[in-house]
C-alpha cells in the first residue's frame, strides 16, 4: 500500500516528502480553503515538489462545468489527477476525462456500488471515506474490503484510496483489506512513526552506552 498526504499545506507536504515515503497528494476544497492560498498557484507549488499523483477537485456540479474545470486543472502539470464527486454528472465527466487520457479520482464514495460505477466509468482511483462512515455508525474499513474483493473478482484496475483516515488503526486495517493507497492527514503520518517502546528503547540504549563510556 502506498502513502499519499491529504493536505494543501506546503510545510506538511514538504515534511512528509522528507520522510521518503510519499507517493502523492490529495486535496479537497475544504483543505484548500483552510490555507487561504490561490488554488492554481498552490497546485503549481505542490506539483513542482511531488512527482506522484496530485488530486485537485472540481467545484462545478454539472458534467460540462466539471470537464471545463478539470481540463484547466490538468493543464497545470502532468501529474494532476482531477478529483470528481460521485454523482451522475460526475460519472459523465469521468468518462469524458478517461477518453482524453486525464486521470481521475472519484471522491465521496460511501458504497461498493458507487465504487463499481466509478470504476466502470473509467476512474483511475476511487476514494471511499472511512472516517465519515465510522461517524455514522458504519464500518469504513469493511467497505475497503468489499470494494477490493469486487475489483479483484472482476479484474478491475482502478486503484482504491482509503480516505478520511482518522487514526493509525485505519491505516493498517486498510492495508489488510486491500487498499492500494491510504491518503493521510500529516498528524496521522506522524503518529505512524511513533511507539512508546521505541522511545523507551532509545533512552535505555543511550543511558547504557553513556554508563559504559564513563568507565573507559
Ligand atoms: C480525501 O481525498 C479527502 O480529502 C479526505 O480524506 C476527507 O477527509 P475528512 O473526512 O477527514 O474530511
Burial of 150 (C-beta count, 10 Å sphere; 0-12/13-18/19+): middle
For ligand 1, say whether the CB of 163 is within 6 Å of any of its atoms: yes
6-16 residue pLDDT tens: 999 999 999 99
Q: Whose CA is nearest to atom 12 of ligand 1?
A: 164
Q: Which of 2, 34, 71, 83 is an active site residue?
A: 83
Active site residue 187: no
For ligand 1, say whether the CB of 183 is within 6 Å of any of its atoms: yes
Interior/surface letters 80-103, b for 16+ CB within 10 angstroms, e for the rest: bbbbbbbbebbbbbbbbbeeeebb
pLDDT value of position 205: 97
Mean pLDDT, all residues of the chain: 97
Report how far ligand 1's centroid is from the alpha carbon of 92 (Å): 23
Q: Give Cα separations from 93 to 74, 109, 120, 137 (angstroms).
A: 13, 16, 13, 31
In the chain, domain spans: 2-214
pLDDT value of position 215: 72
ipTM, two decimals: 0.97
Superfamily of segment(s) 2-214 = Aldolase class I (3.20.20.70)
Is 10:46 a contact under the CB 8 Å cutoff?
yes
- pLDDT confidence tier of residue 214, bands split at 50, 70 and 90: confident
Q: Which atom of ligand 1 is nearest to the CA of 28?
A: 4
190-199 residue pLDDT tens: 999 999 999 9
| 163, 183, 187, 188, best to mutate for ligand 1 pocket (most atoms within 8 Å of CB) | 163
125-138 residue pLDDT tens: 999 999 999 999 99
20-42 average pLDDT score? 94
Grid cell digits, residue 3: 502513502
Report how far ligand 1's centroid is from the alpha carbon of 54 (Å): 14
pLDDT value of position 209: 95
Residues pairing with 181 in the sheet: 2, 161
Amino acid at each position: 500500500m502506498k502513502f499519499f498526504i491529504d493536505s494543501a499545506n506546503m510545510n506538511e507536504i514538504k515534511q512528509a516528502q522528507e520522510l521518503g515515503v510519499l507517493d502523492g497528494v490529495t486535496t479537497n476544497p475544504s483543505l484548500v480553503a483552510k490555507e487561504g492560498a490561490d488554488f492554481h498557484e498552490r497546485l503549481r507549488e505542490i506539483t513542482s515538489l511531488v512527482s506522484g499523483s496530485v488530486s485537485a477537485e472540481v467545484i462545478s456540479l454539472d458534467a460540462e462545468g466539471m470537464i471545463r474545470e478539470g481540463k484547466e486543472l490538468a493543464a497545470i502539470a502532468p501529474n494532476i489527477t482531477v478529483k470528481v464527486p460521485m454523482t451522475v454528472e460526475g460519472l459523465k465527466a469521468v468518462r469524458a476525462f478517461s477518453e482524453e487520457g486525464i486521470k481521475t479520482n472519484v471522491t465521496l464514495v460511501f458504497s461498493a456500488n458507487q465504487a463499481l460505477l466509478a470504476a466502470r466509468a473509467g476512474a483511475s482511483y476511487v476514494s471511499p471515506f472511512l472516517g465519515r462512515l465510522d461517524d455514522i455508525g458504519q464500518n469504513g474499513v469493511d467497505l475497503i474490503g468489499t470494494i477490493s474483493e469486487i475489483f479483484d473478482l472482476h479484474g478491475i484496475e482502478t486503484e482504491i484510496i482509503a480516505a478520511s483516515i482518522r487514526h493509525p488503526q485505519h491505516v493498517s486495517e486498510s492495508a489488510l483489506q486491500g487498499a492500494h493507497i491510504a491518503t493521510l492527514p500529516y498528524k496521522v503520518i506522524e503518529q505512524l512513526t511513533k511507539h512508546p517502546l521505541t522511545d523507551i528503547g532509545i533512552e535505555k540504549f543511550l543511558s547504557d552506552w553513556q554508563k559504559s563510556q564513563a568507565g573507559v
